[in-house]
Structure 1
Amino acid sequence: MKSVEVDQKIAEATYVEDLDYITGSDGPVFKSPEQRAVVESYDAKRVSRLRWKIDRHLIPACGVLYLLCFLDRGNIGNAKIAGMNKELGLSSHQYSVILTVFFATYCTVEAPCNILLKMLSAKVFLPLIAVLWGVCVLGMGFAKNYHHLIVLRILLGLFEAGLMPGCAYYLSNWYRPTEVSYRIALYFSAATIAGAFSGILAWAIMKMDGIGGLAGWSWIFILEGLLTITVGVLCYFFIYNSPKTCGFLTDEEITYWEWHLQQDAGKSNEELDNEPLQWKHIKQGAFHWRVWYMVILSLGCTVPIYSFSYFLPTIINTLGWTASTAQLMSAPPYIWACLCTIVVSYFSDKYKNRCFFIIGPMLFCGIVGFSMALGQDKTGVTYAGVFLACAGQYAPWPSIVSWNANNYPNSHTRGIAMGIQIGFASAGGIIASFIYRSQDSPRFTLGHSVVLGATVLGMILTVVLALYLRFVNAKKEKYCKEHPEVYNEDPHELAKLDEANPLFRYIY
């Protein structure tokens, strides 16, 4: 077998027995005879059980925090139709400004947040920011005017900013590149559950109107804020920094999993990942053209996601249902989107492909769904379009985030790049805040058209980037064939080359 094919087989091998089919290869490198003995004792079933053990310890905390994060930033849409705007005397423009100021801090501090996470550790940082944004949400329940909401939404954006990139970066350090999209989808699907849960919860809380002298919309913020504070404190005990310090893995399981994470050719090693942050990491993570390309590509998801988060109850309300019924009817599309997100991301990892599993949902669900919503007056057809559109906007997002994470070998660079991508892509929320105008009801032609255009743009950029990465991989393959001595070079020295490492392959 050709050496380049051997290296690729080793890089893609999930289980030890996969290596038995690599003829002409000495197999993976072990640090010690003890490590080799442990690794060779694992078969497919043992690895599957270990992976599931890690999943059930890591994913729930991320999922619950992200559910609350999305619930707390989007519940203002529920509060709006529960009477907040009327009681506080907010105009349509003021409401849009309140939505927008959230992103003033949210978009700008996500990359620094990942640096702070690395300094404080995930175990401290993630629960801390949850408690802080929960306090902000609680305060919104006692807001008396427009200016109170403005200040609290700015602070909410500041504290929520670290969660999405923080969780994605946290999981990218626990899983191999071809495993991480599905795990991101598992906790990101909490956002779709939040969309469903928020409507049902708001419908129930609205019935507390008048209790304690507070309006129903105030109770939405107060109860959801208290819930977030409580969960934030509890999550400190369910977030783990590394296999060595997690406490739920045995010594043998730690040995295997650390070996498992080291099997990607060209991936940076532990020594390089733990070195101090340097200018080269900032330069590569913040100023590389591909980072900002991913930001623009990501708008194809974030503009639709935030549009629905803020305005779906309003859109459904204009179809003829009452405010209470609209809260309930906003739930089913999100439940459907949750299922689609998990399934799409599972197959994205299974087939080690990002491109097809980004453009597929965008095309077959997003574009078709928004076209139905835009082109029809009938309530049933529009509502069906909402179902498809929800799946089309949520399902590609984990693949987009993990695609960016997969293609940066060094953990410092990866953390900065992911923070910038997720942070500035959240500017889609700024666009979303102004495109669904009350005067466009019930067709909302402007809003649906902008969302449709963003989806098409995301699809085009995805295809172009995939073709480019495939071209670069082909050049590396050719180089390795012409210079087979590269396989005998020190892996540590090669890892220092970062993306220039000839053995490192991009995922596309």
Structure 2
Amino acid sequence: MDRKSSEYDEKIEAVRDAASDAAQVSEARISRLRRKVDFFIVPTVSLLYLFCFIDRTNIGNARLAGFEKDLRLKGFDYNMVLSIFYISYILFEIPATIACKWMGPGWFLPASTLGFGIVSVATAFVKTRAQACALRFLLGIFEAGIMPGVAYDLSRWYCRAELAFRLGLYMTMAPLSGAFGGLLATGILKLSSFGSLHRWQMLFGIEGVVTIGISLIAFFTLTDRPQTARWLTEEEKDILLTRVKAERLATTTVLDKLDAPKLLRGISNPITLTTATIFMLNNITVLGISFFLPTIVKAIYPDKTTIQQQLLTVPPYVVGGFFVLLLPSLSWYLDHRQLIIASTGPTALIGYAIFLGTLNPSVRYGAIFLTASTAFTLGPMANAQVSANVNSDTARSIAIGTNVMFGNIGGLVATWTYLPWDAPRYAIGNGLNLACAASWTTIAILGYLWMKRDNRRRDERSAAAHEEIAGLGKKEQQDLEWRHPDWRWKP
């Protein structure tokens, strides 16, 4: 064994000693520290994500309030306005993720939020389809890094088993943004005006101003990582750092520098790619609900007033928010994700089957609750699963970004699932969502079986694999990531 390998082994042993030290800290003290981190970190990122989702999807509420009519949108024009957002979102997803790693989430997330808040206010003044498309393109650029950035930020603070629940806490904002957004839209539309703004213009103007205010506060309240947290003692920082480091194989530092081999390993990780595919299929469903639920409700209850239709969009989101907390809580308790991911598909599948099978208004409205109940939970579960199955900080950042990028490819598809001429049954949109739910369930089950099989294979050839890497230096071993012989998949 050469000198480099010896030094490397000593550092790895030091990490293992640190893990042992972390285990000796009482569970009661860890629980208190975890609650402290929850209090200081989760509320800020949750608010940022709430208004990220509201500013993205309030166009559905604006549509009911005359947006389409005032801009003289016809045919597929509305779908085009929705689609342009996802084109920029997809193009800038990976660059935004790298920028978040480079700048640090504490600066990147508030700056991005400020940007899309300004764009939201500007949308209140559009007069043509071209202007609306241009601003939606800009909105996609600024929002591209928010979801992966928040997930990446939280992965710096929490251990693998704890992360899914914390992701659930902030991603509850996705369904709740639909509920809150519907209530907020109802309240705003009762105003006669907001300055020179009227009707749908007030939605973008008021919600954009609130977003800008929250972003400015976040510049002062959001902390990058434990080492820079002024509200932690030095001992608390050490405990948090050691707990995260103890879970990372062959890693001697938690926040490594940007590194091309690790970026490639994060993107090419089999669980990153399969989970990202699941998230893509799921996002077709989730964003189909988010963008078109007001339209679906209007098709079910065409005789109700606009205000009544807006209010009817709220309860399904509340149910979705409940399950976004329930399933990640179960994941935290079991330290398991893959089969929970698989369990989200059947209820969505049944819901869309009901949509296709009947035009009875009450039954169809009930089916919305089935689809919303579990579909939203894959946001936290998918990001948690990707984070649990990569090793270094660099690989984790790009893996989460890849997962979210795939998800937004699904979002682009979702903008074309509910077409005007397909009302009121919407056979295309509902049929596609039914197929997506069946597909992501199947992929999740197959992924679980593959992880178990590959872990057994790694156990069987462990000795031979260690001989193959014996001559590699420290950096070469770190760059192996999931190809390291000691690596095991975490279902």
Q: TM-score, normalised by structure 2?
A: 0.91
**Shift, 1:259, TM fit:** 1.7
Deviations 1:82-137, CA, capped at 9 Å, x for gaps? 01111111113111000000011101211111211122111111000000000100
Q: Which residue of 2 aligns with 1:306?
A: 287
Q: Residue 432 of structure 1 is aligned with which of 399, 403, 414?
A: 414
Q: Is the 8 A contact 1:367 1:392 kept in 2?
A: no
Cα distance in 2 between the residues matched to 1:232 and 1:337: 26
**Shift, 1:489, TM fit:** 12
Deviations 1:331-374, CA, capped at 9 Å, x for gaps? 111111111111101111221221211111211x2112222222
Cα distance, 1:131–1:483 mapped onto 2, change above 3 Å: closer
RMSD: 2.5
Report 1:415-426 matches (<5 A).
415-426=397-408
Deviations 1:302-356, CA, capped at 9 Å, x for gaps? 0011101110011111212322111111111111111111110111122122121
Q: Which residue of 2 aligns with 1:460?
A: 442
Cα distance, 1:27–1:154 mapped onto 2, change above 3 Å: closer
Q: Is the 8 A contact 2:316 2:372 kept in 1?
A: yes
**Shift, 1:294, TM fit:** 3.1
Which is worse superposed, 211-220 or 422-431?
211-220
Cα distance, 1:357–1:473 mapped onto 2, change above 3 Å: same
Cα distance, 1:387–1:110 mapped onto 2, change above 3 Å: same
Cα distance in 2 between the residues matched to 1:362 and 1:482: 40
The answer as to 2:98 corresponding to 1:115 is yes
Cα distance, 1:213–1:237 mapped onto 2, change above 3 Å: closer
Aligned length: 475
Cα distance in 1 between the residues matched to 2:432 and 2:481: 38
**Shift, 1:446, TM fit:** 1.3
The answer as to 2:411 corresponding to 1:396 is no
**Shift, 1:423, TM fit:** 1.4
SS in 2 for 1:318: helix
Q: Residue 30 of structure 1 is aligned with which of 17, 32, 48?
A: 17
Deviations 1:424-459, CA, capped at 9 Å, x for gaps? 321112211112122222221211111111111111
Q: Which runs of 5+ in 2 are unaligned?
A: 1-12
Deviations 1:11-38, CA, capped at 9 Å, x for gaps? xxxxxxxxxxxxxxx9984359xx94x8
Q: Which residue of 2 aligns with 1:282?
A: 263
**Shift, 1:492, TM fit:** 6.2
**Shift, 1:234, TM fit:** 0.4
Report 1:309-458 matches (<5 A).
309-320=290-301, 321-363=304-346, 365-458=347-440
Q: Is the 8 A contact 2:269 2:390 kept in 1?
A: no
Cα distance in 2 between the residues matched to 1:341 and 1:53: 22
Deviations 1:62-97, CA, capped at 9 Å, x for gaps? 111111000000000000000111111111311100
Cα distance in 2 between the residues matched to 1:267 and 1:336: 42
Q: Residue 27 of structure 2 is aligned with which of 26, 44, 47?
A: 44
The answer as to 2:249 corresponding to 1:262 is no
Cα distance in 2 between the residues matched to 1:43 and 1:143: 58
The answer as to 2:40 corresponding to 1:57 is yes
Cα distance, 1:350–1:495 mapped onto 2, change above 3 Å: farther
The answer as to 2:235 corresponding to 1:221 is no
**2:208 corresponds to which letter in structure 1?**
G
Q: Is the 8 A contact 1:285 1:413 kept in 2?
A: yes
Q: Which residue of 2 aligns with 1:94?
A: 77
Cα distance in 1 between the residues matched to 2:85 and 2:449: 36
Identity of aligned residues (%): 28
Which is worse superposed, 337-346 or 169-178?
169-178
SS in 2 for 1:109: helix
Q: Residue 68 of structure 1 is aligned with which of 51, 74, 94?
A: 51
Cα distance in 2 between the residues matched to 1:238 and 1:502: 41
Q: Is the 8 A contact 2:283 2:407 kept in 1?
A: yes
Q: Which residue of 1 aligns with 2:455?
A: 473
Q: Which residue of 1 aligns with 2:10?
A: none
Cα distance, 1:206–1:159 mapped onto 2, change above 3 Å: same
Cα distance, 1:139–1:27 mapped onto 2, change above 3 Å: closer
Q: Is the 8 A contact 2:125 2:201 kept in 1?
A: yes
Cα distance, 1:256–1:289 mapped onto 2, change above 3 Å: closer
Deviations 1:172-222, CA, capped at 9 Å, x for gaps? 121122221111111011111101011111111112245545321000000
SS in 2 for 1:208: coil
Cα distance in 1 between the residues matched to 2:145 and 2:226: 22
The answer as to 2:277 corresponding to 1:296 is yes
SS in 2 for 1:232: helix
**1:30 corresponds to which letter in structure 2?**
D
Q: Which runs of 5+ in 1 are unaligned?
A: 1-25
**1:175 corresponds to which letter in structure 2?**
Y
SS in 1 for 2:91: coil
Cα distance in 1 between the residues matched to 2:217 and 2:61: 27
Cα distance, 1:350–1:267 mapped onto 2, change above 3 Å: farther
Cα distance in 2 between the residues matched to 1:471 and 1:39: 30
